[in-house]
Amino acid sequence: MTSARPIQRRPLLAALGLSALAAPRLARAAGAERLSVRLDWLPWGVHAPFHLAAAKGWFTRHDLDVRLEDGNGSVTTVQLIGNGQFDVGHASLGPMAMGRSRGAPVKAIANFIRQNDIGLMMPQGSPTTVQGLRGKKLGFTNGSLETPFLDQFLAAGRLTRADVELIAIDAAAKPGVLLAGRMDGVFSSVPSLLPIVNAQKPTMAIRFADHGLTFPSFGLIANERNMAERGPALRRFASVISGAWTYIFDGHEDEAVQAVLAARAQAKLPPGVVRAQIDLIRTFLTTDATRGEPLGIMATADWEAGLRVLSDAKLIETQQPVASYFTNDLLDRDLIATVGRGAA
């Protein structure tokens, strides 16, 4: 049986990259191998394949007992996976790369949102170019993924921080300040925030990825020790999630919405917002290097470009071979196709 009950775990043992102590592996459930999965954030559309796979029994059918836990940020998810406190994490892969460069034994095993999802949300009718932001009041969150790239983003329009008013705000406050007109724009994940605000006020986005700030975004990560010890289970899990995304985008978006709403009823998510998030995610799935590849599969060229961007922002502390950051070995193309047809 798949559940979303909170998982009891040890307190965080170390900062990003330190993993000397690890929580013991969870015991195998009868007839299925148990996997603890830490998500990136509170419920939103990007979690659709996890809840849909649970609802349709795909995990159980492939001998997996999956326990899902909501998150509070990709950085924390990377920390927990690096310390062995969860078997699999769903997170933005930028923080994963940063953690690996600092010694965390983590690696990407699938990438679904292959384009950088960060952007600047502004009301419709606002300037559509970075150059047009001069004099605007813009909100960002300290410690968030957008913060290290603000200078590079502004430079794409030949602007500096002196040309705009940057104001640090809490992530949870972003929708409210934008809807109330207290700021001209806010930086955040486009497929997450834009549908929330757009449901109440017509809103547009300027995407970082359209201005050279490219790197892989949301995907699955695992601890290298777990990869060595539990590779077959991780391969089945990653392939089911990849296949679930394929199934969703084959005309089953509303079914995915209902799975999210049923799994997280207490969140009282507006169905229209979840559907809009899923629809917007579709526009971030593909890069030139991954065109025609099954969802989840990663390209060396994308990682090379992404690591250059992270390095230019001084977020990568040690240089490692590109291949050390990701692997496609835990993706079964046949299983992805089978799940994608709904035939799992």
**What integer pLDDT is reported at residue 30 of this predicted model?**
53
Rounded to an integer, what distance in angstroms lies between the CA atom of residue 185 and that of residue 129? 13
Rounded to an integer, what distance in angstroms lies between the CA atom of residue 143 and that of residue 148? 8
Domains of the chain: 33-115+215-340 (3.40.190.10), 118-211 (3.40.190.10)
Exposure pattern of 194-232 as b/e (b: 16+ CB <10 Å)? bbbbbeeeebbbbbbbebbbbbbbbbbbbbbebbeebee
Which amino acid, 261? L
Q: Which of helix, strand or coil describes residue 203?
A: strand
**What integer pLDDT is reported at residue 276 of this predicted model?**
98
Neighbours of 12 (CB within 10 A): 12
Which amino acid, 187? F
Rounded to an integer, what distance in angstroms lies between the CA atom of residue 35 and that of residue 53? 14
Hey, which bits of the chain come out as E strands?
33-38, 64-69, 88-92, 106-111, 118-123, 137-140, 165-168, 185-189, 203-207, 218-223
DSSP conformation letters of 257-271: HHHHHHHTGGG---H
Residues of the chain with pLDDT under 50: 1-29
CB-CB contact of 194 with 203 (8 Å): yes
